[in-house]
Structure 1
């Protein structure tokens, strides 16, 4: 396949780099266009399977799969520019929050094959969680091929587009909440005399390990918490204080705020 990336910013660039090794193994070619000429030239020079294009139209014309990595407010400008090149055989992949499959179809036609994804920023270290939605024109074989792009940068799951707002709350935005938690642990450790760099390692590795316990055992997060909390011990003392201060409720409120914002901005 020829897989084209329009926009190679933080997310688009992370997906491109994450898939490059798999692309080489599969015999795929990656095309890229970014308004920053230096960026697209650097990608072409650094990654053997990448070729830079001089315009969005050239990339759309030459690609089998077109990933749109531009900001949501650019779609009304971009889609008309590439509409002529987007034949029904091509697959359009959008990663923009608030841009529905229906909105893209309104510019590219009701027969266009469209996949919508919601990745998150850990794509930069190949640990992304990617939700993948498709319209009725994307057949299973094509879907599996495109789905493989996102498995190369972490984990991917197919969901109905109706769940995309929920996905934003639970994975799209949640790295930010997790960074806040890690940062609070670091600051507290520094206050108690630990070097900041060492505190970062202790806090981040503990979060990484806890996440792997959730993913790699059959034990529920609640039970895992209980297992750590010896009666009268230090952990249960901390957990009780967090519960007393509404820790769980605050996380749920943040989640809900992200979901409602996603609903409000969707077009």
Structure 2
């Protein structure tokens, strides 16, 4: 099976590196295109047998399964460009949340799906979020799910939770790395610990915490209970968090959903103008 990647920015490159490293695909199975050739050529230096295509149309003509990894507002123009090269048995996969599989189906006559990855997939960990169009067969679903199982834990989701699921899976690593950095910065400001030591300790702490949860030794609530003994130091810290975190995460989800709504409205304007004609 030949796999196409249109857009080799951050997530496109993560998909390529992760799939090749996991031996889910060989570089010779990959057909890639990027608007600026430098990023594609950098991947060619790493994987000499992959194929750099001159246009997205060439990627489509050469591939059985195609990941579209461009920005949301670039999708419509791209689909208008490539739809005549799509054929019915192909599977076209979007990795962006604001565009639904129904919108994709209006533009192309092939099978479509959405697979929202996470930066965690680069370590062959974390979820990927799947949604399938009406033309996808059981076999199509198994092909995409099996491919992504090599680098993630695929989870099929409904359209109405797409944004919040993406916030948790795709944005979550950035949100919590920001909080962890602020945790480290405060430790350095308030004590004599060095930034290097604080960073090492915090990094190893979060890795260890992840392993406890992964092995189901503790859940999030029981982990807090085990560490936070009555009258102890941890409890004093929890009091501060309870007082100061407040509705911070409520506001976070409100903000991401507001941006999501804005993007969807702009995309809807694009997609409502034209549909694919056989």
Q: Same fold (TM over 0.5)?
A: yes
Which deviates further from its counterpart, 172-181 or 122-131?
122-131
Residue pair 1:94, 1:115 contacting (<8 A) in 2 also: yes
Q: Is the 1:3–1:28 Cα contact (8 Å) retained in structure 2?
A: no
Shift of 1:183: 0.8
Please give the TM-score of this superposition, normalised by the length of structure 1. Answer: 0.90
User: Superposed, which structure 2 residues align to 1:184-263 within 5 Å?
Assistant: 184-191=182-189, 192-217=191-216, 219-247=218-246, 249-263=247-261
Secondary structure of 1:245's aligned partner: helix
The count of corresponding residues between Structure 1 and Structure 2 is: 264
* Secondary structure in 1 matching 2:35: coil
2:114 alignment partner, SS class: strand
In structure 2, runs of 5+ residues without a counterpart are: 269-278
* 2-structure distance, mates of 1:208, 1:256: 29
CA distance in 2, matches of 1:128, 1:30: 23
After superposition, the C-alpha distances for 1:200-228 in whole angstroms (9 at most, x for unaligned) are 12112212222332232164311211111
Distance 1:23 1:228 in 2: 40
**Residues 83, 107 of structure 1: 8 Å contact kept:** yes
The Cα of 1:23 is off from its aligned counterpart by 4.6
What's 2:81 paired with?
A: 81
Report the Cα offset of residue 253 of structure 1: 2.7
The TM-score, its normalising length taken from structure 2, stands at: 0.87
Matches within 5 A, 1:142-181: 142-181=140-179
Displacement of 1:239 in angstroms is: 0.8
Gaps in structure 1 of 5+ consecutive residues: none
Runs ≥4 in structure 1, deviation > 3 angstroms?
21-28, 123-128
Name which of structure 1's ranges 15-24 and 187-196 shifts more when overlaid on structure 2.
Answer: 15-24
1:48 is displaced (CA, Å) by 4.8
Deviation at residue 58 of structure 1 after TM alignment: 0.5
Per-residue deviation at 1:17? 0.8
1: CA distance, partners of 2:219 / 2:24: 39
**Segment of structure 1 superposing worse, 125-134 or 22-31:** 22-31
Deviations 1:43-64 (A, max 9, x none): 1231255211111000001100
C-alpha contact (below 8 Å) 1:20/1:30 kept by paired residues: no
